[in-house]
């Protein structure tokens, strides 16, 4: 039963459509109608500006981090040890909720910021390195999608490098595959040169 609670709460936390709420509350704008039609931080940055983009990023990041913390809280209260499985379960459900939100007819963002929040709680070293890698690629190419995919793919490699347990390596592989899949439209745009760039 406690695993079910972790799954449901992690999913519901992840399902909170931060970008949609910020866009409507602060700018009277539905992000789904502009730009890439995505509710994530990148589209918020492009359409609503830097401040909105940063706010959405932080909120999406916190969804992943809080879901992992909640899994620890529920697990400890129920006598479950904070095993990698318990932590990953809470985190992965937040990513699923963000990308397939029950509040958005099971649509949503691409899971990058929420995934970073999860990875920060699970593997802080990998999260820092992935973020630095993401930032370098964005500064050089101005393609957030490309940077996000490369940073995501680096996570399972880092989990192996930092000698994490096999659960973290498998989670990294699954999360990276999910992020790349969610960027399939961006991949086509990158290939034909029509992908939008972001400038600071």
pLDDT, one tens digit per residue, over 5-52 is 999 999 999 999 999 999 999 999 999 999 888 999 999 999 999 999
Q: In Å, what is the CA distance from 93 to each residue of 56, 90, 103, 143, 175?
A: 19, 5, 15, 27, 11
pLDDT mean over 81-110 = 92
pLDDT mean over 89-102 = 96
pLDDT attached to residue 80 = 64
- pTM for this one? 0.92
pLDDT attached to residue 1 = 66
Tokens standing for 150?
């490369």
- Mean pLDDT lowest among 9-13, 68-72, 81-85, 101-105: 81-85
Asked if residue 94 lies in contact with residue 42, where contact means CB atoms within 8 angstroms, the answer is no
pLDDT attached to residue 73 = 86
Backbone angles phi, psi at 158, to 5 degrees: -70, -35
pLDDT attached to residue 66 = 97
Percentage of the chain surpassing pLDDT 70?
96
Q: In Å, what is the CA distance from 68 to each residue of 9, 40, 47?
A: 10, 20, 30
pLDDT mean over 132-146 = 96
pLDDT confidence tier of residue 83, bands split at 50, 70 and 90: confident
């Amino acid at each position: 039963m406690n695993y079910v609670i972790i799954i449901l709460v992690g999913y519901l936390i992840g399902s909170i459509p931060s970008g949609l709420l910020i866009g409507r509350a602060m700018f009277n704008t539905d992000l789904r109608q502009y730009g890439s039609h995505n509710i994530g931080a990148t589209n918020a940055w492009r359409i609503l500006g830097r401040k909105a983009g940063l706010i959405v990023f932080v909120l999406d990041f916190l969804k992943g981090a809080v879901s992992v913390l909640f899994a620890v809280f529920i697990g400890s209260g129920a006598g479950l040890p904070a095993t990698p499985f318990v932590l990953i379960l809470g985190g992965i459900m937040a990513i699923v909720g963000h990308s397939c939100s029950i509040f958005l007819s099971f649509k949503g963002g691409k899971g990058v910021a929420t995934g970073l929040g999860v990875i920060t709680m699970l593997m802080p070293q990998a999260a820092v390195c992935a973020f630095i890698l993401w930032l370098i690629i964005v500064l050089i190419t101005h393609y957030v999608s490309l940077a996000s995919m490369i940073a995501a793919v680096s996570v399972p490699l880092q989990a192996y490098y930092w000698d994490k347990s096999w659960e973290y390596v498998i989670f990294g592989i699954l999360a990276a595959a999910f992020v790349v899949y969610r960027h399939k439209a961006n991949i086509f745009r990158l290939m034909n040169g029509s992908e939008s760039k972001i400038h600071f």
